[in-house]
Structure 1
């Protein structure tokens, strides 16, 4: 009969209770504080700029809104001056380098930057260096370790980007107030509502999944960037327009909508090709061709029996589209996080 002996401390290890979730959350925050501080600083810089500019823009727009009647030449000049100064960023003394259009374009990069830099190193760095084994010997099994590492930063990212969206809406409001810019346009849609936070969560989940799959941080970040750009473009061009059937409206002056397409019908009802419309514009009277009014040609077409049509997604569908996009992005992100946990369980050793 042989006697089996245990190494010193083995019995204690066998009976050790799992580390509480609160302790795992504290460790996660400590380990990722650099990423959290960096992401907060990136959002903070833009947030401070937008708060300052929002105050300036709201005051400037109040002068435009107080001018009556709105069709008067003086009011039109005020409105044009407001857009030149704060939208395009060309003439305003308070704009350095660009207006709201430029700022909105720059903000498109924030979700993928936050997601790639926050998500890719989470597990990839641990798997790459082998330090994940130490975590598992401290009472944190694979699943608990992966979930605690993934979920808490995801919640913080969603909360931070959700609050950031509120600041952006306040900053962007003057351009939406008079329907000169539609909130359905890709320029604004992905930065408003729930879309901004949802896209950030997707980038984060994709980066975390790829980091676990490759076990390398830099390749995961590179593939995340490419994959995100492809998916974002495909969504804006091919997926989002089909959330609901477009509405057909008569006329080309519907600015409070996302215009899908537009066409001209001849007096006999035939749809004109683009080359035919261009030929008409070349044969229009000199008074029309040389007019400074952007509506001179369309007005001339209407006067001669031509009808103008547009296929649009109206602004009234904004929240329907936001919730639709947010829902499928949340589902995809959840699947990516679940797949990441599965990879840790399967390949962690």
Structure 2
């Protein structure tokens, strides 16, 4: 019969984790209710958009397109406008979620607790600073990922339902639609959580952390928007001067092609030559055609996946920095407590 040893520590760790999660949910219950309500409302609006609103708008556009010039006919203009409004509101709301997460993370999740001393009180109740931060970040990260991921999927579903049926539906490469339709929005939300948390640890005050986390998340959004088109090889098309530039998608670069095959920026065309199609300007520049480097619709998922990977790498850096900061700022206190306990 094998000798009896100490009981495994797994049940104790599981009980401690459950206790920590209950404490976290109780402490941030209002934020949890607001997040759940926001996700439910936006999900309902996107389902409404994908179904009845898209169908009504598509029918109205079909009636409008069937109208002959100079002949009065009826179509449901309200359905067209209603679809446009709901699409704009839901897309804007989904775009704003990462910034809301950043503001909450900096102000309420960490900044306020460090400012009021609640965090230090928790550290004296058997919760180490590192475990405190881990629970603080892990639970919101799961909820943010699940909620934002669901809304992104529903938005893509609503956009796909209208694509090709509603004449005013946004193109796939529209600035807000591009991210709202893919996983980069989840990456932005997690980056907002990380930026806010790091700001809270640095400032240890709610209001400065809110502002810093928000500004940092805006900076991440702007930089990633500029970086995204260069993360995947673009397609290049060459067309004649008479045909013009025809590529549809995210344009990376464009210009003229000379008789030697060189690719140059498009020359400035003065107004007096613009009325003639800029023929003199292009002739002086030795232009024989146009070139365009762009991302077609087939690049949608490669662009999204590699950009999301970059954002997740940034989230990992932010998280590592946050834990290193907590260890450095509380290490001396922890050592002093251990020394006192040993004495």
Task: Give the TM-score taking structure 1 as reference length.
Answer: 0.73
The one of 251, 264, 269 aligned to 1:259: 251
Higher alpha-carbon deviation: 42-51 or 110-119 = 42-51
Match of 2:221 among 205, 211, 232: 232
Question: Mean Cα displacement is larger for which, 169-178 or 195-204?
Answer: 169-178
Residue 43 of structure 1, aligned match among 35, 39, 43: 39
Partners of 2:81 and 2:276 in 1: how far apart?
42
With over 3 angstroms needed to count, the CA separation of the structure-2 counterparts of 1:198 and 1:164, relative to structure 1, is same
Deviation at residue 309 of structure 1 after TM alignment: 3.2
1:137-176 equivalent positions in 2, closer than 5 A: 137-176=124-163
SS in 2 for 1:109: helix
List per-residue Cα deviations over 1:104-151 (Å, max 9, x = no partner): 345322211123214542222221111223322332222111111111
CA displacement 1:25-56 (0-9 Å, x = unmatched): 12111111111212223333333322222223
Range with greater deviation from structure 2 (108-117 or 51-60) = 51-60
- Mapped to 1, the partners of 2:288 and 2:36 lie a distance apart of 55
Q: Deviations over 1:211-232 (max 9, x none)?
A: 0111011111111222222221
Tell me, yes or no, if the aligned pair for 1:112 and 1:200 is still in contact at 8 Å.
yes
Q: Distance between the aligned counterparts of 2:189 and 2:136, measured in 1?
A: 17
5 Å-filtered alignment, 1:171-186, equals 171-177=158-164, 181-186=170-175
CA distance in 1, matches of 2:99, 2:208: 15
Q: Tell me, yes or no, if structure 1 residue 114 matches structure 2 residue 114.
A: no
State TM-score, norm by structure 2. Answer: 0.74
Out of 198, 201, 205, the position equivalent to 2:190 is 201
SS in 1 for 2:21: helix
Q: Which moved more, 1:203-212 or 1:225-234?
A: 225-234
The answer to whether residue 49 in structure 2 is matched with residue 53 in structure 1 is yes
Q: 1:252 to 1:187 in 2, by over 3 A?
A: farther
Shift, 1:268, TM fit: 8.9
CA offset at residue 156 of structure 1?
Answer: 0.8
The equivalent of 1:315 in structure 2 is 297
2:209 aligned with 1:217, yes or no? no
Q: Which runs of 5+ in 2 are unaligned?
A: 1-11, 70-75, 280-286, 334-343
Distance in 2 (CA, whole Å) between partners of 1:308 and 1:64 is 38
Deviations 1:234-285 (A, max 9, x none): 2212x11210232111353333x21223335578978674423755432359
**2:338 aligned residue:** none
d(CA) in 2 for partners of 1:185, 1:246: 17
Ranges in structure 1 where 5+ consecutive residues have no aligned partner: 1-16, 68-72, 78-83, 286-296, 298-304
Deviation larger for 315-324 or 37-46: 37-46
Could you tell me which residue of structure 1 aligns to residue 18 of structure 2?
22
Aligned mates of 1:149, 1:206 — CA distance in 2:
14
Q: Quote the Cα distance in structure 2 between the aligned partners of 1:216 and 1:28.
A: 19
Counterpart of 1:282 (choices 267, 275, 285) is 275
> 2: distance between equivalents of 1:59 and 1:155?
34
State the distance in 1 between where 2:254 and 2:67 align.
30
CA distance in 2, matches of 1:266, 1:175: 41
Question: CA 1:248/1:65 → structure 2, altered by over 3 Å: closer, same or farther?
Answer: farther
The range that moved more, 104-113 or 208-217, is: 104-113
1:182, 1:213 → 2: CA distance?
Answer: 41
